[in-house]
Amino acid sequence: MKCTSKIRLTSAICAVSVLLSGCAGKSYSYAFDIDNSKSAFSFETSDKNDIVKSFASNFAVVSGDVISGDEVSTGADSYASAILVNADTNEVLFSKNANAKLYPASMTKVMTAIVAVENGNMDQVLTADEECVMTEPDVQKIGLKSGDKMTLDQALHFLLIYSANDVAVMIAKNIGGTTDEFINMMNKKAVELGATNTNFVNPNGLHDENHYTSCYDMYLMFNEAIKSDIITQIINQQTYSTEYTHGDGSTASFSCTNTNRFLKGLIYAPTNITVIGGKTGTTLAAGACLVMLSKDSKGSSYISCVMKGNNIDATYGKTNKMLELIH
């Protein structure tokens, strides 16, 4: 919409334009706010033009299913939801039930990492307390004890490579002050990104009926996560070894392997596709989940997500089927 007398803006837009000093050669952006109608736009101004750009112009928009080939809805190879997006052009190459609310399991840790990187620093020392101690045998953990200390950098490696649930709680308490406040920060960031089918109640993704997201929302959140060089470098690591400090001053050593089967070399991507990394998630309720960043031979980036795969093989198999759509 040009700044001429021939084009009339609505009163609401005019009001904002006046506040932004008209054609002043500046650019203004508004984060998404579900309660603010103006947040759906970013206002860009120049000497000759006033442009009202939609908030959604910065990412892909899913209006319905985009299916390629035969699809399975039941059986061993079934899954509930999937999406594949060219992160450079925002083109949706595949989409099925992308807005369905489902349990994310440990893919939750993508948002945990986003909030931690935005609000902490890598050298910050985190301390575990009793809330961080997990004794359940079937929970992925490094075995934190009250008083254990490590840097945020170490904690993020444990979080994203090994998917340690106890470390997720330690990050939340130290960055947010309390776990509840950190969860508030997670949900606020989700809404800011436009992830309106998402609600978090914990920082690790352990099952709760009120803890959910969607494939499309995971795309939005992961798209934000890979803007961080720190997060992108960590998810690309195959293994990680480090030492941290117990409360009594003694040293604890821990080594781990990435939970991503592509990085483990257990499964291979299609020819000319390189898997950079991602985040896995698995619980009985969530099924097998995987959100991931890949690149083609020209360096273009793609974000894929599969949720509620019937099993791990189904989830990785569907991921590869989507990656085969990249030309």
- Please state, for a pLDDT cut of 90, what percent of the chain lies above it: 76
- With CA atoms as reference, report the closest residue to 138 among 283, 310, 307, 313: 283
Same domain, 26 and 162: no
Q: Is residue 5 part of a domain?
A: no
Count of domains observed in the chain: 2
Q: Is residue 1 part of a domain?
A: no
Q: Catalytic: which of 106, 214, 294, 304?
A: 106
Task: Give pLDDT, residue 57.
Answer: 58
The residue segments making up the domain with residue 219 are 81-323
Q: Which residues contact 235 (CB under 8 A, 6 or more apart)?
A: 160, 161, 258, 260, 276, 277, 278, 279, 293
Q: Is residue 65 part of a domain?
A: no
Domain of residue 173, CATH code: 3.40.710.10
- Mean confidence (pLDDT) of the chain: 87
Same domain, 108 and 53: no
- Label residue 215 by pLDDT band (50, 70, 90): very high
Same domain, 235 and 109: yes
Task: Give pLDDT, residue 21.
Answer: 41
Task: Give pLDDT, residue 42.
Answer: 40
Q: Is residue 167 part of a domain?
A: yes
Q: Is residue 111 part of a domain?
A: yes
Q: Is 106 a catalytic residue?
A: yes
Q: Which residues contact 88 (CB under 8 A, 6 or more apart)?
A: 300, 301
Q: Is residue 73 part of a domain?
A: no
For residue 23, is pLDDT > 60?
no
Same domain, 37 and 179: no
- Residue 81's DSSP bridge partners are 307
Q: Catalytic: which of 17, 81, 95, 163?
A: 163
Render the burial of 98-137: b for 16+ CB within 10 Å, e for the rest.
bbbebbbbbbbbbbbbbbbbeebeeeeebebbeebbbeee
Q: Regarding predicted confidence, which is higher, 264 or 37? A: 264
Q: Is 109 a catalytic residue?
A: yes
Same domain, 144 and 263: yes
Task: Give pLDDT, residue 324.
Answer: 96
Same domain, 175 and 35: no
For residue 5, is pLDDT > 80?
no
Q: Catalytic: which of 81, 95, 109, 189?
A: 109
For residue 3, is pLDDT > 50?
no
Q: Is 253 a catalytic residue?
A: no
Q: Regarding predicted confidence, which is higher, 257 or 33? A: 257
pTM beyond 0.85: the answer is no
Q: What tens digit of pLDDT does each residue of 136-165 get? A: 999 999 999 999 999 999 999 999 999 999
